[in-house]
Amino acid sequence: MQLAKKVIGKELDLFEAHFKEAVKSSVSLLDRIMQYIVKRKGKQMRPMFVLLSAKLHGEINDASYRAASLVELLHTATLVHDDVVDDATERRGFLSINALWKNKIAVLVGDYLLSKGLLLSLENQDFNTLTILSNAVKKMSEGELLQKKNKKFKFRRICLLRYHQWKNS
């Protein structure tokens, strides 16, 4: 990870600025929650992989930053929703959104993050990126539902294989 940061360190800093801009809201409660999320960011592996891939295939441009932001917005939305589904009170060592602001607000925050990602892509006509990531989120959701459905039962081999395929899309 340190090597990646050496290669794209400046670009990661630019990404952070793009991401902060992407989550801004004129609704004060939502903006406060977005600031809470941004301050408690994770390792940002997904945006790092997007930017490294872009650099491998040429240059990092505005579309690369939008793709990295879309990936992070969708990932963050799924984490917020997962915390509600799992009744988790912590995320990355801090209180989860649902622990601080309750489930209804957390679900709406996850929806907001999802819609911001979709709008970012649509407004810039990044249809190919949007298609790829929408399919990935669909498969992840199917995998989550399969996992929940089969929790009480033994996984059959085929279910386990499908689960891993969907979960790791």
Domain boundaries of the chain, sorted by first residue: 2-125, 139-169
More confident residue, 161 or 44: 44
% of the chain with per-residue pLDDT over 70: 88
Quote the tokens at residue 64.
Answer: 């690369």
Taking a C-beta distance cutoff of 8 angstroms, is the pair 94, 44 a contact?
no
Q: What whole-number distance in Å separates Cα of residue 5 and Cα of residue 11? A: 9
- Is the model's pTM score more than 0.85? no
pLDDT band at 137 (very low <50, low <70, confident <90, very high): confident
- Tell which CATH classification among 3.30.1300.10, 1.10.600.10, 3.40.309.10, 3.40.50.40 matches the domain 2-125: 1.10.600.10
Rg of the chain (C-alpha set): 17
The CA dihedral of 144, 63, 19, 53, to the nearest 10 degrees, is 60
Nearest to 113 by CA among 34, 21, 57: 34
Checking if the pLDDT of 164 tops 90, the result is: no
Residues 6+ apart with CB under 8 A from 85: 144, 148
